Amino acid sequence: MRPEIGVPSDLADDPVRPCATGSLPGWIRAITLCAGFAIGNTARAAEFGFETLRNLVDTRGINSVEGLIEALPQDLRTHYALMFTSRSLQGANLANPRAILFGSDAEFIVTFNGDPAVRGYSAVETMQFDPRKNEFQFREIQFPVAKGASVVISEPNSARCLACHGQPARPIWDMPPSWPGAYGERYGAGLSPKETAGIREFLALQPVHARYRNLLGAAAFADRETYVSSAHAMYNGVRTISPNAQLSVLLTNLNYRMIMSEIASRPAFDAHRYALLAAAEGSCGPLPDYYPASVRAAIAVDLRAFKQSSAATERLQAAAIAARLAGAAGGYQQRIAVGGLDKLRFVVEHSLDLATRQWTLALEANTYDLSAPEGAHTLAQMLFEQVARTDEALRGLRADRSFSSDDRYCEHLRRHSVRALEAWYLANPLQLTPTDDGWHADRSRDAASAPLSTAARPELLDRCAGCHTGVVAPYIPFADPDALGKQLGHGNYRHGRLLDEILYRLAPEAGATSMPLGIAISEAQRHGLDEYFLGLARRADTQGDN
């Protein structure tokens, strides 16, 4: 079982605490500026979860999607988002959206659609957050199409589920300020003309539809104040939070619990906890200063290489997001600035040996966008609570911060981090190499310093090599990893360096110019190629600095 993760004490109440009422349902209407979102205490069990649902199906003999939706508790049927375009196994359209029922805490989610002509009509999908293990579990329930057939319930996190949700499994809910395909897709804006027409179709159908009629408060989706606070509401200190934003906050908080549980379970966490917290804070000065003096130079080199490879990945995601948002209603392009996570991710990957490519809820896997609406926790908050459990002095120091890199709070983190890591390096001698001027980090065990020729060759690489010989396509040494690694960080291509161009051409956004030519590659194949090229670039950069 993974460690239980605490939450800030002032945010450990109900997930949504409306302080004002209005004509629309409270969950969708507004919250006061003083109200907070939270994720609840880890000890609190969900009142309705998958086993309860399974028991309903068995004891009541439920054999249809509509029968199941009708039997769900009011909490689930009151808190939901509606997708008129869906990239999931369940299709959708404007009049028959995919309904995502998430309740008041999103710890149990049920989804369905309403058009027999679209995919997934006979299925219900579920997601449950396990507060003991701090992990997500996805299932699919197939209801019988033919008489006499049985209801089929998948195992948790089956291969069919993990094909989209990855490993470890995570929810996929696009990043603010836009949720393309969801009614209210523009954060802080009303419905577009397309959405307005679509929601009218839906609301005309909803009261008599066998499935949608069980949704409560659906009329609120046509009201502008569901998505945008009125002047009167703002004057009274009330802020609207739309269904999409509410789901984003709740999923972000659960996702951070999963991330923190993974981090805290690593053997090296305790020794690195102060370095992790300083990295997450982002305002406590250079990260190498939180390591013993003997290893700072090596840490600085590795951190620089890590940031360069991350920048290439982030540019790839930015291009994918821009293409997707261009199709969103109104062409809404603004994005909330992504916090600097490179330092934190570096410590997690470099020192805790834990991958971070599944941290994001974004559609694009292997990216690092953790944007969330106001009200969501941050990883810095959760790390602070974890570390402060054994160091109460941190609370007073943080409350009196001057927010300079040499304030008493940062100095406390720096002093304790160096002390803890000096002991940790001495207890892990394979991590150090003796030299004439002391002990220094031994990176010979790190993949970054391994010979380039030993890098694992991903599927489809031979196809790239066979084409780019200089006869059919421009010469690129795909067959020679040492030569290729040295070239990836250079060049002046349409999308940047050779590495940037390759990553773009592997992405779906490249359209007809995507590579490899003539075939459709899977997400797993694309990910394998991305990781290979990013790894070669990182190794080449590190070797060049030695």
Residues 452-500: tens digit of each pLDDT: 443 467 767 877 877 787 666 788 888 888 889 888 888 888 877 898 8
In this model, does residue 262 exceed pLDDT 80? yes
Q: Which residues pair with 458 in a beta bridge?
A: none
Judged by average pLDDT, the poorest of 6-10, 66-70, 381-385 is: 6-10
Cα 481 off chain centre by? 31
Q: What is the pLDDT of residues 289-325, one digit of tens each?
A: 999 998 999 899 888 888 887 777 777 667 766 766 6
Kindly report the pTM of this predicted structure: 0.74
CA distance 398 to 391: 12
Q: What is the pLDDT of residues 190-236, one digit of tens each?
A: 999 999 999 999 999 999 999 999 999 999 999 999 999 877 777 77
In this model, does residue 402 exceed pLDDT 90? no
Cα 260 off chain centre by? 13
Q: Which pLDDT band holds residue 266 (cuts at 50, 70, 90)?
A: very high
**Cis ω before 516 (30° cut-off from 0):** yes
Q: Any idea what the Cα angle at residue 121 is, between residues 115 and 124, rounded to 5°?
A: 130
Strongest mean pLDDT among 127-141, 179-193, 393-407, 425-439:
127-141
Q: What is the pLDDT of residue 317?
A: 67
Q: Residue 167 CB: number of other CB atoms within 10 A?
A: 9
Instruction: Say what percent of the chain tops pLDDT 90.
Output: 45
Both tokens assigned to 539: 């190794």
Overall size of the chain counted in residues: 546
**Secondary structure of 237-297 as H, E, C letters:** CEECCCHHHHHHHHHHHHHHHHHHHHHHCCCCHHHHHHHHHHHHHCCCCCHHHHCCHHHHH
